[in-house]
Structure 1
């Protein structure tokens, strides 16, 4: 399908006479439904439109947003600046989005700027509801799997324990504690996804050695999942589970070249860890969570 779709609409220019209407030619340069991050959408939309609309520069967008004295606003938004509801409406006007696309854009903004996990989850659900083809973002069952940390834990537990239909032993041992009903729902989801089935002895066992996000590697979805995993680390640090834990932190200053080397070493370690896990032929008797964090305490230096 041709990406450049032309449409005409009437617009009343608020900064001119209230009785004057102008025919505006709007070009749908990129498909908004290919995105779940509004900043990425804005960046790619601007880059596409400026090719045929020379005035649609980052500075030009500031003028269109009613900010003629602020040349950097659009660039600041791309770098993470919060967008108010008023400016969200201004963006929608500049982009010429129809009602449905406008609501989708608003929801992307809510998703990006949500302050709590509950708010992020609600925004993601709304985004799925608004998308014309939700499976383009992710399969609903897959979304449910990554939406709660205990599903991946349950998948691993089935390998480490002999689990029957009586899930009480799992509920007694799982950390952190969750209601028995959620454990039952988790097992049902794993069965529905084809990730667990009963063996000849009547025990629920995983059908795969490992799981990858694969084609459903949606950045926002994985981000929500990782936030839950980080919270697990926090709880493990505070409550000290009975099994041994390794908790360490390190703050340091290094050059860009040293950072690249360190990042490469971490990738090699992850690959080695996966090999150790896959080559472990002994019966599993524990389920572990490992999170690696490497981030900067300094924003990039602004060049004059």
Structure 2
């Protein structure tokens, strides 16, 4: 049974596509249940599809092909579906980047779904640093001065590149007095495809952190390490606490931006880079 309204090229997540596709088919034919689907795929477990949709199970290639046949995807649609799965299930940044480049070759994807320019914002660490800096010190055209204000310093051409990108993305704008200032206080990544750039951004932040150990005195930084044992429940608690801390830092930043907007006050703000890492150092019990 072919799809009419669910267009795979409007999706950047293969699981979201499958859920919507099966919902459409079920509305057309009530027999299109999860049991019917797994039987068509030749799978004995009735909970297999629920595990896939919840992220507890990966989609192997043999079932990918059967899904394509079940949904009557064209050759082009099947290739896009396969690439989406490859992107989602890639284990390394190199594999994910390779799949991402392949996805960009599909001209059927809506322009706003990929949003290359906005994703590029996370491609270099200094793009976000320059944008944040403009909250403190508006840019007036001196690229050399702007480049020197960052730690580590960037080149004049990199500073110019950052301003041009930020202006193109409408993250900053030039006011009547000639100053460039941010249009919003904070930026979020929106497209799932921007994650490949975000991973590079996080990695570059981690590298900056290594340099910060030697460059800044301990009074100006907070870098520490800890090794602990945690249950799944405790790890979830840590994740929730870190999320709350990130939100708290954003709130403090917004409060400071309002506080120091009056130029008559002494402005003590600086731009800080923050990287939070909590990851397993051992395998799960029972893993080989």
TM-score by length of 2: 0.69
Between the aligned partners of 1:220 and 1:241, the Cα distance in structure 2 is 35
Give matches, 1:248-267, under 5 Å.
248-250=224-226, 251-254=228-231, 256=233, 265-267=241-243
Partner of 1:196: 172
Equivalent residue, structure 1, for 2:181: 206
CA contact (8 A) 1:209 1:278 kept: no
**Distance between the aligned counterparts of 2:93 and 2:232, measured in 1?**
34
CA positional deviation for 1:188: 0.5
Q: For residues 238 and 263 of structure 1, do their structure 2 counterparts lie closer, same or farther at Cα, with a shift above 3 Å needed?
A: closer
Q: In the alignment, which residue of structure 1 is the partner of 2:68?
A: 92
- SS in structure 2 at match of 1:206: strand
2:263 maps to which residue?
Answer: none
Tell me if structure 1 keeps the 8 A contact 2:120–2:197. Answer: no
The answer as to whether partners of 1:229 and 1:291 remain within 8 angstroms in 2 is no
Shift of 1:278: 1.4
Considering fraction of residues, name the structure with more strand.
1
Output the TM-score relative to the length of structure 1. 0.66
Residues 53-202 of structure 1 mapped to structure 2, 5 A cutoff = 54=31, 56-57=33-34, 60-65=36-41, 67=42, 77=52, 78-81=55-58, 83-84=60-61, 87-117=63-93, 120-121=96-97, 123-124=99-100, 126-127=102-103, 129-135=106-112, 137=113, 139-161=115-137, 163-172=139-148, 174-175=150-151, 180-198=156-174
Two-structure CA RMSD over aligned residues (Å): 4.1
Alignment partners' CA distance in 1, 2:102 and 2:83: 7
Question: Which of 219, 222, 238 is the equivalent residue of 2:210?
Answer: 238
Distance 2:96 2:152 in 1: 22
| Greater mean deviation of Cα atoms: 181-190 or 110-119 | 110-119
Q: Runs of 5+ in structure 1 lacking a partner?
A: 1-24
Larger RCO: 1 or 2 (CA < 8 Å, sep 6+): 2
In 2, distance between residues paired with 1:176 and 1:91?
A: 50
Q: Which runs of 5+ in 2 are unaligned?
A: 261-265
CA contact (8 A) 1:110 1:123 kept: yes
* Equivalent-residue separation in structure 2 for 1:220 and 1:130 (angstroms): 15
Count of matched residue positions in the alignment of Structure 1 and Structure 2: 269
CA distance in 2, matches of 1:276, 1:198: 26
Deviation at 1:142, TM superposition (A): 2.2
Query: Do structure 1's residue 287 and structure 2's residue 271 form an aligned pair?
Result: yes
Quick check: which one's helix share is greater? Answer: 2
Q: Does 1:39 align with 2:11?
A: no
| TM-superposition CA deviations, 1:99-144 (whole Å, max 9, x none) | 3422321221232134554653564455454444222x25443233
